[in-house]
Every structure is written in structure tokens, then in C-alpha cells.
Chain A
Amino acid sequence: MSARPASIALHAGRLIDGDRSRLYAWLAVCVAATALLTGASLVIGTSSLETSLGWLTSPDAQSSLILWQIRLPRTIGAWFAGALLGLGGAIAQGVFRNALAEPYLLGTASGAALGVTLSLLAADASIGELAWAGKLGVTGAACVGAVAAIVLTITLSRGVLQTANLLLAGIVVAFLLSAVTSLLLLARPELWRTMQSFLLGSTGFLGWSSASMLGIVLCVCALPAALFARGLDALSLGEDTAQSLGLSLAVLRLCMLGILSLATAAAVGEVGVVGFVGLVAPHLVRETVAVNHRQLLLGATLCGGALLQAADLVSRWVIHPAELPVGAVTATVGGAYLVVLLWRRSRRE
């Protein structure tokens, strides 16, 4: 991957035919995996495989409720959330020109966690000042918190031109907001369990309304991201080169960070802080095929979706009818993948 950086393949988007067919093959694998996982998600849940298959062939009121109102929206919602995280990860890595960048880099996760804490406090204690957070509900408060964190980060770094400043501000904001969250939770320790579920991610309550919201956000994010992808290609040649090509860095970064915030905030709001999908999905794409950014964004989106769908299946299957936090699954698998990646790279060197 590092031996063949994304930027080399991009010269005016001319791919060698071999690479193109590999890319198509890769995309086809992602789509096929998604189709397979969606099918599997209908028969994997709290009932045995035979029971679930029986439901598919001869459904009654309750089983069709479980199949079409619970399992299907859950897996589709997980796909959209994963896709948003994959897209966000690819954008973050492009904007920061760092393969270790991830969607939560700008403090979104901590901001969302703070929003959730405030909404829980408001719902529980009916504190007048927090009424807004209570009205938004957990999802809305998480979104607002995530967006507020990004705005704070960008304000602190005085704009988006200095990547180092942005990263630093992101870290500072993340620490600060986590500290506030911890302090608030000290007063209400019984909220810890709910918070922990949020911080470990959960796909359990994704219904059709959540799934369609995530789907709309994905469309809203993916189209402009594809339009600006060329800019990321230019940026990967270096900031000076990009500017000499007539690119406005500020506009590019601001748009891309806007898309990143929207994508991350929506995903975090619905499924909590699911780690590693945004980091691993773009890696997997680049590891397999050399691509330009438009293709990377597409690939990471499809791959992220399939990854979170798979993680969701694992989380509901392993100890059913109890359930593992989906973020714990992605962190375990994603972490293991990164270890392998590191090990392979160090051996290559």
C-alpha cells in the first residue's frame, strides 16, 4: 500500500486495465457480501436457524414483525451506518493525508457522548436548562454534540488550513469533552451503564425510521464527496502542488470536513461510537487495489457497510439471545487486522 500510494494511480484518473478489473472485482465482492449478509441477517437472531427458516416459509404475525420490522431494518441500518463511517474514514485519511486518520479525529465521539449524557440527565432529572437535550432524544443529542465538537475544533484551530493544528485541536476537544462527560456522570453513576452501551456501540434499536434517516444522510454525503474527490487526489500530491494546480485548500477542506461531520454525527447518533470501521475500511480497499480517491470513497463506503453488517451479525449471534456490543466486535476484529497489517509491513521492511 505504501509502496504504491493512491496518488500514483490517479494521474488524470487513467487506470491500467488490470487495476480497473481488480477494482470492479473488489466492488463486486463488497456488493455480494452485503447481499449475503442481508440474507443471513434474516435468519440470525434470537431464534434457532431452523425456526428462522420456518418463519421465512410460513410467517405468522409475530415472526413477520421480527423479520421485517426488526431484523431487516437493523441490518440495513447497520450497513448505512458502516458505510457512513467508511466514507468518513476515507475522507479523513484524504484530508489529513494520513493513513491512520479516522472519522472520530475531530472530537465527534466525545461530543456525541457529551450530548447523550446531557440528554440522559435531562430525561431523568427534568432539569429545565437541559430541556432541549431531552427533546432531541439520545440520537438527536448525539448528533448535535458531534457537530458542536467539530465546530469547536475548527474554531480552536482557527480554520482548516493547518492540519497539525486541526489534529491537535481535535485531541484537545476530545479530552475536554470527555472530562466534562465524566464529571457529569459522577453525579449520576447509575447512567454509566447506558453511557457504556453508547460508547461501545449498539445496533439493537435500529428501525426503519433510523435506517431511512441514515440512508438519506449517506446520499447527501456521498454525492458531494464524489464531486470533491479529485481535490483529494490533488491534495495527496502535497499542499503546495495542490495549490499550484489552482485548488482552493480552504474550500476543499471545509466541504470535506462538513461531509465528514455530517456522516460521523449521523452514524454515531444512531449506533453509538463504533470504532475501527472508519479506519479499517479505507485500508482494506487500498490494500487490495490501487485507486484514486473517487474510487477509494466508493470502495470504503461499500466495504464499511459490509463490515458493520458483519459485526452486527456476530454481535447478535455469538451469545444469543444476549448480545455483544457491536463496537466491541469491530474493535476486536479491526484491532487484530491492524496488528496483522503492522506485522506484514515491518516484515516487508
Chain B
Amino acid sequence: MVCGIRANGMRRAALWFALRAGRRVAAVLALAACYAGVAGAANVVRDDLDRDIHFEHAPQRIVTLLPSLTETVCALGACGRLVATDRYSNWPSQVLALPKAGDLDGAEIELIVSLKPDLVLLSRSERITERLAELGIPSFALNTDHYADIARNITTVGNILGVADRAAILNDTIADEVRTIGAQARAARHGPAPAVYFEVDPTPYAAGPGSFIGDLLTQLGTRNIVSADLGAFPKLNPEYVVRENPDVIFIADADAQHLSDRPGWGDIRAVRERRLCSFESDVGDTIVRPGPRVADGMRALAECLHRVDP
């Protein structure tokens, strides 16, 4: 009950008392009063689970359960308001010292509760959101699947944190950088758009054009060998990759060495001419996380593309 959490102590006590006394009418009245009272003054923001979340004041004790959200909060200059992050968050380095509250699928509820956060930022995950709500901890869910989500989430988080101006500036900066990198990449290329295959997993799963990574590759003027209707991360028939004969393959370093062991893959242009792109894990983070460092990730992709496919 979001209102209950936001409401001041007295109102909360009254609500509790009314419920305990079993006076339902009184409870409903108190509830209505609380809603009316908060809705008037507070900042109401709708999250991606379609819940209207009321913020009476900008949150000061925040837990993030996704690296991209941690990075978003920090990029908005609110790193100091974080009290815990998920276990994958590793940027900026100051979040490394914070308590680690598990991850979306295995959040450490007890740790989160003990930190008394006034906001938990997460992506859509019904189970943990419900559990947090039961425990009276406000949470805010954000989709982080696409490139467009980055700017949208920065704006939303900026609104919630009361730093909307900063969010607008950050968004402009990111948009400028991304536009520049994309334009430079397209301008520097002599031949036609290279066909690319981004391998997410060697079994083989690809990043389709509908995924965040696919978005970046498209903006760099490449042609994804996977069509959009296959979904964000389709499991491909390996034969398909051979048939499409990509010019460049993005792949994990460990898998890159064994590419020619796969039946027929030795004849793929990217494998034959070693036009392969692999990234160190810290650079890889910027590529796979739809967050404020997207321009860094895109630059890394562009640099490798330029190196192997001039």
C-alpha cells in the first residue's frame, strides 16, 4: 500500500488503529483521506507495471536491483543516495563499497528491509515487487529492454529524484554522442552495410534487431543477419548463420577460438578473414547494459567494426 508508506506517522497510526478495531468504514475513510492528502501535494509517477507511485519527497535511500539503473542514478549525480545495489553493479567504482542485495531473481529481501530504503528501483519482476509491497517498501519498475528505454528511464528517474534538469542535459549529451558516433561510423565506411551476427550465447543465441544491442548495431549502419520478427534473442539454427555469411561476428573471446570447429562455419567470411569482435568484460558491460554509458558501448562497437571492416 504505497500511500500508507508515504503517509506520515500519525495518519499511518490512525489507519492501523482503525483496521485493528475492525471498523472497516473508518479504515476506508482514513484510506481515502490519505490518498486525497498525498495525491494533492505529491509527485505521482506511473511505472512500467502500470502502478501510480506517489512520492511525497524525493527518495533519499535508494536500492537498485539492476546495473543499468544503478548507473542511471549515479549519472544523475545521486550516487550518494544509494544504500545498496544488485550484485552485478560495478560502475561507478564507488558503488562497489555498497551492500549487495542479490539480483532481480534472487533479491535479498531481508537485507533490503534492514536498510529501510524509501525506493527500490528494479525492472519488471512481479514476484519481488509484490513481496516488497507486502513489506511496505516502495518499489518502482522500469523496462530496460530497448535503446529508447534509456532516455525514458533517465527522464523518469530524474523526475522521481527531483533532478529533472540534470536528466534533460544528460539525455541531450547521450543523444548527441550516439548520433555523432553513428554518423562517423557510417561516413568512415567505404563499402555497403556489413552483415553482422552478434552471438549472445554459443548454443547459438543471437541478438536480434529488436534487442538493445541490435538497436546499437542498426544505428551503426550495419545489417543484422537476424530479422526482427524472430524476437530479441532467438535461438538460431546454426545453418542460418552459415547461409547468411556475416561479414562481422561479435562473440565472446572464449568461443571465438572454436568457431571453425562448428560444422561449415570455417567458410563464413567473418571466420575465414578473422573479422571477429570480442570485448573485455568492462567494455562488454557498456554494450549489454541499456544505461547512461550507452555511448561508450557504441563507441567500442564502432571501433571494432572499423578495425575489422574498414
Instruction: Pick from B103, B200, B243, B262: contact of A205, CB below 8 A.
Output: B262
Asked if A204 meets B203 with Cβ closer than 8 Å, knowing A62-B243, A321-B237, A323-B236, the reply is yes
A194 at the interface (CB under 8 A from B): yes
Chain B, 89-111, contact with A by CB distance < 8 Å: what is the 0/1 string?
00000000000000100000000
Instruction: Pick from B201, B236, B242, B262: contact of A65, CB below 8 A.
Output: B242
A252 at the interface (CB under 8 A from B): no
- A66-B239, A70-B242, A207-B263 are known; give 19 further A-B pairs, CB within 8 A: A45-B237, A45-B239, A62-B267, A65-B264, A66-B242, A66-B243, A69-B264, A73-B263, A74-B239, A74-B263, A193-B205, A194-B203, A204-B237, A208-B263, A316-B237, A316-B239, A321-B230, A322-B230, A322-B234
**B201 & A193 in contact (Cβ 8 Å cutoff):** yes
Q: Whole-angstrom distance between the alpha carbons of A335 and B230 in the complex?
A: 27
**B204 & A66 in contact (Cβ 8 Å cutoff):** no
**B235 & A62 in contact (Cβ 8 Å cutoff):** no
B residues near A316, Cβ cutoff 8 Å: 237, 239
Instruction: Pick from B201, B234, B238, B258: contact of A194, CB below 8 A.
Output: B201
A46 at the interface (CB under 8 A from B): yes
B residues near A46, Cβ cutoff 8 Å: 237, 239-240, 243
Q: Whole-angstrom distance between the alpha carbons of A204 and B263 in the complex?
A: 9
B162 at the interface (CB under 8 A from A): no
**B262 & A207 in contact (Cβ 8 Å cutoff):** yes
Q: Which of B230, B234, B235, B258 has the most CB of A within 10 A?
A: B235
A286 at the interface (CB under 8 A from B): no
A residues with CB within 8 A of B: 45-47, 61-62, 65-66, 69-71, 73-74, 123-124, 137, 189, 193-194, 197-198, 202, 204-208, 316, 320-325
Expressed in whole angstroms, the minimum distance between the Cβ of A22 and any Cβ of chain B is 38
Can you list 21 A-B contacts with CB-CB less than 8 angstroms, sorted by A residue number? A45-B237, A46-B243, A62-B243, A62-B245, A65-B267, A66-B243, A74-B263, A124-B254, A193-B200, A193-B201, A193-B205, A194-B203, A204-B237, A205-B262, A316-B237, A316-B239, A320-B237, A320-B240, A322-B236, A324-B235, A325-B235
Q: Whole-angstrom distance between the alpha carbons of A322 and B203 in the complex?
A: 12
Chain B, 167-209, contact with A by CB distance < 8 Å: what is the 0/1 string?
0000000000000000000000000000000001111110000
Query: Sorted from nearest, which 7 A-B pairs have the closest CB atoms?
Result: A207-B263, A197-B203, A321-B240, A46-B240, A322-B234, A323-B237, A70-B264
B residues with CB within 8 A of A: 103, 200-205, 230-231, 234-240, 242-243, 245, 254, 258, 262-264, 267
B residues near A70, Cβ cutoff 8 Å: 238-239, 242, 263-264
Expressed in whole angstroms, the minimum distance between the Cβ of B47 and any Cβ of chain A is 25
Q: Whole-angstrom distance between the alpha carbons of A205 and B266 in the complex?
A: 13
B residues near A62, Cβ cutoff 8 Å: 242-243, 245, 267
Q: Whole-angstrom distance between the alpha carbons of A314 and B238 in the complex?
A: 15
Expressed in whole angstroms, the minimum distance between the Cβ of A318 and any Cβ of chain B is 11
Q: Whole-angstrom distance between the alpha carbons of A197 and B199 in the complex?
A: 14
B residues near A204, Cβ cutoff 8 Å: 203-204, 237-238
Q: Whole-angstrom distance between the alpha carbons of A124 and B263 in the complex?
A: 22
**A321 & B263 in contact (Cβ 8 Å cutoff):** no
Q: Whole-angstrom distance between the alpha carbons of A185 and B136 in the complex?
A: 32
A residues near B231, Cβ cutoff 8 Å: 322
**B235 & A197 in contact (Cβ 8 Å cutoff):** yes
B residues near A324, Cβ cutoff 8 Å: 235
A residues near B258, Cβ cutoff 8 Å: 137
**A194 & B202 in contact (Cβ 8 Å cutoff):** yes
Q: Whole-angstrom distance between the alpha carbons of A175 and B8 in the complex?
A: 51
**B203 & A123 in contact (Cβ 8 Å cutoff):** no
**B236 & A205 in contact (Cβ 8 Å cutoff):** no
Expressed in whole angstroms, the minimum distance between the Cβ of A185 and any Cβ of chain B is 12
A residues near B263, Cβ cutoff 8 Å: 69-70, 73-74, 205-208
Expressed in whole angstroms, the minimum distance between the Cβ of B184 and any Cβ of chain A is 31
Q: Whole-angstrom distance between the alpha carbons of A74 and B231 in the complex?
A: 25
Expressed in whole angstroms, the minimum distance between the Cβ of A210 and any Cβ of chain B is 8
Expressed in whole angstroms, the minimum distance between the Cβ of A186 and any Cβ of chain B is 8
Q: Whole-angstrom distance between the alpha carbons of A31 and B274 in the complex?
A: 43
Q: Which of B204, B234, B237, B240 has the most CB of A within 10 A?
A: B237
Expressed in whole angstroms, the minimum distance between the Cβ of B295 and any Cβ of chain A is 24
**A323 & B235 in contact (Cβ 8 Å cutoff):** yes
Q: Whole-angstrom distance between the alpha carbons of A73 and B239 in the complex?
A: 12
Q: Whole-angstrom distance between the alpha carbons of A56 and B7 in the complex?
A: 74
**B239 & A322 in contact (Cβ 8 Å cutoff):** no
Q: Whole-angstrom distance between the alpha carbons of A206 and B262 in the complex?
A: 8
Q: Whole-angstrom distance between the alpha carbons of A62 and B234 in the complex?
A: 23
**B235 & A322 in contact (Cβ 8 Å cutoff):** yes
Expressed in whole angstroms, the minimum distance between the Cβ of B72 and any Cβ of chain A is 22
Q: Whole-angstrom distance between the alpha carbons of A324 and B264 in the complex?
A: 20
- A316 to chain B: closest residue by CB: B237
Q: Which of B203, B263, B267 has the most CB of A within 10 A?
A: B263
Expressed in whole angstroms, the minimum distance between the Cβ of A71 and any Cβ of chain B is 7
